[in-house]
Structure 1
Amino acid sequence: MNLLFVHQNCPGQFRHLVRDLLDQGGHRVVFIGQPNTARLPGLERLDYRPAPGPGDGLHPWLRDTDAAVRNGQAVARLALDLKRRGFVPDVMVGHNGWGETLYLKDVWPDRPLLSYFEFFYSATGSDLDFDPEFPPSLDDQCRARTRNAVNLLGLAAADRGLSPTEWQRRQYPAPFRDRIKVVHEGVDTRTVAPDPAAALTFGRDGLTLTRADEVITFSVRNLEPYRGFHVFMRALPDILRRRPRAHVIFVGGDDVSYGRRPPGGRTWRQVMLAELAGRLDMTRLHFLGRIPYASYLRVLQVSQAHVYLTYPFVLSWSMLEAMSAGCAVIGSRTAPVEEVLEDGRNGLLVDFHDTAAIADRIDAILDHSDRMAELRRAARATIVSRYDLETVTLPAQRRLLARLAAGEE
């Protein structure tokens, strides 16, 4: 097949699928994205740069929409050049969120388009109004509604949609849901697996931690409120008091992926450390930042208790990978987490805002590590049975592409 993929951060959510297609052989795979260093052997890359925006003359609620249209325009121009050179895709696949798929059907009207729909914004009952510490203004609510212009244009353009979880699919308006299939990107469970012998060495003093130590882990792309960083930090004085031998490892950057930035040009880590100044034993807190994937896996493999908190929002790969690595996961009782984590069976659930309950759950794990063995096994079994790359998600993605190419979807 001839396949065209589009994602500004190539390969993004399509990395496993693209690699699988290239490994199969017999396919021509072209990928349009913005410039980055990612390279896959055999992949044809075309990079685009959107035209600059109009500056301050644009209504602020339309900035995301304007950027999406510029992305879509740049992608369409590259696609038209591909068409002129004789390329005809059997299937087009792209992430709808940044507008890149908006005009592909104007270049190839009769070619099927599969668009990845990650999140439909809502003023109520979702991420925006979840945290009372950061209540939305009317402007925030209106901006969220306006951001869905790209979602709705993309839904109208796509032949089929794809969402990674059922909860994310349900955020889209009911008339569109039947056109969106739920297929996760998958977890490489052979790579992301328990290792009882794992050891993690870091820091200037070469501290080494293993599964024999009390290791509490917290891993997200960026340390920010959307992923409960502020709540977990406020739980730490009690956790460190109760667990005098525990070490807490943070993996994640200091940028902001979602939500608002803290005031004064600070990071959320700086904000929380200032708030908790004098109440934390900093010798037992380890902020590793963004680290190589192999080191990140060792963090999960030495973890005794892994904390994952999130607003009702996109579910992180990191929670599924923690479960695949055999972690005892303490997850927030929010809908995306509850789709995967069942309290007392394959993890422990806790109210997102309840710092004392988080400390209690950590005690339950660290005080009874023998009884948590079954919880860990069940966590991994959940990922293997529902999200395994080789046996579940890639076969589902292959079938979907084949059916689209054959006009059966």
Structure 2
Amino acid sequence: MKILLIHQNFPGQYKHLAPALAARGHQVVALTCKIKEPQTWQGVRIAPYEVKGASTKGIHPWLADFETKLLRATSCYRGAIALKEQGFEPDVICAHHGWGESMFLKDVWPTARLGLYCELYHLTTDTFINFDPEFPSKNPAADTLRIRMKNLNNRMHEEIMDAGISPTRFQASTFPDRWQDRLTVAHDGIDTDMVRPDPMARLQIDDKLTLTRDDEVITFINRNLEPYRGYHVFMRALPDLLRRRPKAHVVVLGGDGTSYGSKPPKGQTWKQIFIDEVRGQIPTPHWNRVHFLGRVPYDRFLAMMQVSRVHVYLTYPFVLSWSLLEAMSAGAAIVASDTAPVREVMTEDETGWMVDFFDRQTLVDRISALLDDPETRTRLGANARSLVRDRYDLQSICLPQHLSWVEQLGASPARPPRD
């Protein structure tokens, strides 16, 4: 079977699937704007395309997001035409359509089956628009219209998709009813053989400090440190937490940018805004036990999870972070927000403890209580790892599910695009 993979940051979610498909004898080609020259990776031929065009100055702000996706779509379309002219005719196209790239690929290959990675459909309910009262919508009525426009990309793809796959039931549930009969829920998978407890793990903070399992380590991670992932709640908990835990070290991973939600005021970062808010409440000796490591290589991230005594995970009702499942796989004892995506993978007092997203006093109380209870930490961490191995293990569960999904898609009749 000939398979085309589309991802603006390839391999992305196809990191394991792409080489596994190639290993099964399929001809696998990836089309991406990430590279400049053709290359081969683990049996996968990677072809580049160049994004051409620029955003229109003064365009209506509700259209700016879609125009960016349209630029990628037309650029990817040109790359697809070049592949077609070389004689490549895919049986299956798998695409993460979130950046718009795959919008016109059925026009190039009408008989190919298009399978989409369905990460999220933007909803207009208060749970999504106004979950956090600290950052209220300035114009709720207009936001409803704006969000509908933001789904233009999803709607364009719904007309041409043959099937979709979502990593969690929560994420799949955000898509409209008309999508549901074409959606499969299958997580990307966690390599539980790599992400596992290690009593000898060591996390080097700097030239003078290395943390181990003998230290009281509290960990927190975001791709970017921002409110969508509860960074502000966690930071405001630090003054009390550091007072109550005089030996604790707090390790924070994450960048300075914005992945989700509104951007901070111009010239500022969410990271620094909340550091500035709490720093005056924290004596310098306590502050010296807070370590911001930025973004780190994966082996250092893994060491952080393995030395963690309590890992804190907070999120709005949104896409579930891989890092939560990785922390569970590493056997960490977790305190997490009691929000819908978390409830899908965690059960209170079985695989972790949960708190109301906004209740930072209870967050401090539960972190402190868990730090004082090694028996409960051990039980929760073992249960969490068992759950990930049973439901989300990469090699035994998730990768076979994805391989089967692609191969079944290839064997199914193509669904005619709906104009």
Shared fold (TM-score, shorter chain, > 0.5)? yes
Displacement, 1:19? 2.4
The match for 2:349 among 339, 344, 351 is 344
- The residue type paired with residue 242 of structure 1 is R
- Distance between the aligned counterparts of 1:309 and 1:19, measured in 2? 33
| Higher mean displacement: 277-286 or 7-16 | 277-286
Query: Is it true that 1:193 corresponds to 2:192 in the alignment?
Result: no
Instruction: Map Cα deviations across residues 239-286 of structure 1 (whole Å, 9 max, x no partner).
Output: 111111000000111111111122141111210111112222221000
Query: Is it true that 1:30 corresponds to 2:32 in the alignment?
Result: no
- Distance between the aligned counterparts of 1:325 and 1:388, measured in 2? 12
1:123 and 1:129 in contact (8 A); partners too: no
Tell me the SS of whatever aligns to 2:375.
coil
- The residue type paired with residue 99 of structure 1 is G
Structure 2 unmatched runs, 5+: 415-419
User: Counterpart of 1:361?
Assistant: 366
Matches of residues 118-137 of structure 1 in structure 2 within 5 Å?
A: 118-137=119-138
User: Counterpart of 1:386?
Assistant: 391
1:9 and 1:36 in contact (8 A); partners too: no
User: Counterpart of 1:151?
Assistant: 154
Matches of residues 277-356 of structure 1 in structure 2 within 5 Å?
A: 277-280=279-282, 281-356=286-361
- The residue type paired with residue 159 of structure 1 is D
TM-score, scaled relative to structure 1: 0.96
Instruction: Map Cα deviations across residues 161-206 of structure 1 (whole Å, 9 max, x no partner).
Output: 111110011111112112111111111111111101111112142x
Displacement, 1:124? 1.6
Displacement, 1:14? 1.1
TM-score, scaled relative to structure 2: 0.94
2:29 and 2:45 in contact (8 A); partners too: yes
List structure 1 segments (4+ residues) > 4 angstroms apart after TM superposition: 36-39
1:30 and 1:46 in contact (8 A); partners too: yes
Structure 1 unmatched runs, 5+: none
2:91 and 2:111 in contact (8 A); partners too: no
- The residue type paired with residue 395 of structure 2 is E
2:164 and 2:182 in contact (8 A); partners too: yes
- Distance between the aligned counterparts of 1:250 and 1:19, measured in 2? 33
- The residue type paired with residue 359 of structure 2 is D
User: Counterpart of 1:8?
Assistant: 8
Displacement, 1:408? 6.5
Tell me the SS of whatever aligns to 2:253.
strand
1:307 and 1:331 in contact (8 A); partners too: yes
Displacement, 1:58? 1.6
Matches of residues 213-252 of structure 1 in structure 2 within 5 Å?
A: 213-252=215-254
Over aligned residue pairs, what C-alpha RMSD do you find?
A: 1.6
- Distance between the aligned counterparts of 2:180 and 2:102, measured in 1? 19
Identity %: 47
How many pairs does the alignment contain? 407
1:114 and 1:161 in contact (8 A); partners too: yes
User: Counterpart of 2:417?
Assistant: none
Displacement, 1:220? 1.5
User: Counterpart of 2:19?
Assistant: 19
- Distance between the aligned counterparts of 1:301 and 1:284, measured in 2? 18
- The residue type paired with residue 255 of structure 1 is G
